[in-house]
Amino acid sequence: MIPLTRKLNLHLWTFVLLLSWGFLFSSDTHAETTKSEASISLAAKDLPEFKTDPFVKESQGNQISGVVRRMFQDRGGNLWFATQNGVSRYDGASLTYFDIRDKFGGAVTGKSFVEDKEGNLWLGTTGGLTRYDGSYFTTFTDDDGLCDNDVWSMLVDSSGTIWIGTLGGVCKFDGTTFTPFPIPAATERDYNRGVWSPTVVWDITEDRAGNMWFVASAGVYKHDGETLQRVPVMEQDSETHVTSISEDRSGNLWFSTYDKGLIRFDGETFTNLTQQEGLSGLEVGDAYEDSSGNIWFPAEDVGLYRYDGTSVTGFSAKHGLAGRPFSVFEDRDERLWCVGLMGAYRLDGEAFVNVTRDGPW
């Protein structure tokens, strides 16, 4: 659990980062729905240095961003970064930032990515849902039927339907129409989360059987195509603990929590891996399975853990990591990346290398 003083400090410098980014560009009072790529492209080499802490005057390595929330690779091989400074893309030659704006002309924070069957890239931000078709960025907001403009999670299911989890609930999008999907609202405020609403949906997952799983303020829910039911995870008050769900190649579901560690569900039994292995760091980030079958997960005040099915290996500052990791990603070349509060890092052997705007890519 993050102490209140740390939360306040984090929110303060996050606000300063966003404020300083917004001053780089002039803001129109009205934001158009569709923008060409060329009209909002900003070459990294032409921008001021990004820092991990705006209160420090010295150079901090020209980071991709002080806060990188998530990473993605599209079918063309481009690497995308969802950051506190919006969205950026590395195309193998250069890094470009895209000045996506909300409907009021304000800067946005990038949070999630998915790619649909047609090759469109969908970006979830604090300004709505944005589709990139390779040439144009088109943003959809609550004016178009989106549940809420603060998008936290997305999924393209096996039928091609796009699911969007927002601060105001879940919507399904068929390419034309947004349809709300009701999830029960929480009845009590969770003061342990920095951002909260009774209807927020933090994560969405589809398992191999086609069941949809939702991590919401009111708890974990499973929809089998007909019935929506709440699934207690380890404890009856699980609605205040789970933050994300992922499925591994064996069909196990991994539940990340903010104060209970990492929990595995094999279809019958819940096992708390953090407790079982005696690990430090009860607040963990999204679990991620690499191509070798290892399960990676960030842990607060620790860094990063790798579980190979038998034992757990920890990675921390002595392995090159800095700050707090948020999420893990493996690219098509089987290179493992870790992103978070202090930028982006790539695993090289058994140590991590900080990848800044200047590389090494």
Sign of CA dihedral 329, 331, 335, 341: negative
Whole-number pLDDT of residue 31: 43
What residue type is 67 in one-letter code? V
Residue written as token pair 């009205």: 30
pLDDT at 16 over 50: no
pLDDT for the residue numbered 236: 58
Better-scored residue on pLDDT, 29 or 198? 198
Span between the terminal Cα atoms of the chain, in Å: 34
pLDDT at 237: 55
pLDDT at 61: 82
Residue 259 near residue 272 (C-beta atoms within 8 A):
no
Q: Regarding predicted confidence, which is higher, 53 or 5? A: 53
> Binning pLDDT at 50, 70 and 90, where does residue 240 land?
low
Predicted confidence (pLDDT) per residue in 183-218, tens digit? 999 998 888 888 899 999 999 999 999 999 999 999
pLDDT tens-digit series, residues 275-298: 999 999 999 999 999 999 999 999
Residue appearing with tokens 């607040």: 283
Residue 12 banded pLDDT, cuts 50, 70, 90: very low
pLDDT at 24: 42
Please determine, for residue 152, whether its predicted confidence score (pLDDT) is greater than 60.
Answer: yes
Burial class (CB in 10 A: 0-12, 13-18, 19+), 270: middle
Residue 138 near residue 34, CB atoms below 8 Å? yes
Q: What is the pLDDT of residue 339?
A: 97
pLDDT category of residue 224 using cuts at 50, 70 and 90? very high
**Across the strands, what pairs with 139?**
130
Percent of residues, the chain, with pLDDT higher than 70: 89
Residue 159: band (very low, low, confident or very high) from pLDDT cuts 50, 70, 90:
very high
pLDDT of 318 over the 60 cut? yes
pLDDT of residue 23: 37
* pLDDT above 70 for 228: yes
**DSSP characters for 198-209?**
TT-EEEEEE-TT
Predicted TM-score of the model (pTM): 0.90
- Whether 361 has a pLDDT exceeding 90, the answer reads yes
Task: Count other C-beta atoms under 10 Å from residue 30's C-beta.
Answer: 8
Query: What is the rounded average pLDDT of the residues 112-119?
Result: 97
Contact 158, 147 (CB under 8 A): no
pLDDT of residue 50: 82
Average pLDDT rounded to a whole number, residues 144-164: 98
Structure confidence at residue 28 (pLDDT): 43
Q: Which of 54-58, 233-237, 244-248 has the lowest mean pLDDT?
A: 233-237
3-state class percentages of the chain: helix first, strand second, coil last, to nearest 5: 10, 40, 50
Phi-psi region of 65 (alpha: psi -120 to 50; beta: other; left: phi over 0): beta
Model confidence band, residue 55 (pLDDT cutoffs 50, 70, 90): confident
Q: What is the pLDDT of residue 49?
A: 86
pLDDT level of residue 58 (50, 70, 90 thresholds):
confident
Average pLDDT, the chain: 90
Lowest mean pLDDT among 32-36, 153-157, 212-216, 270-274: 32-36
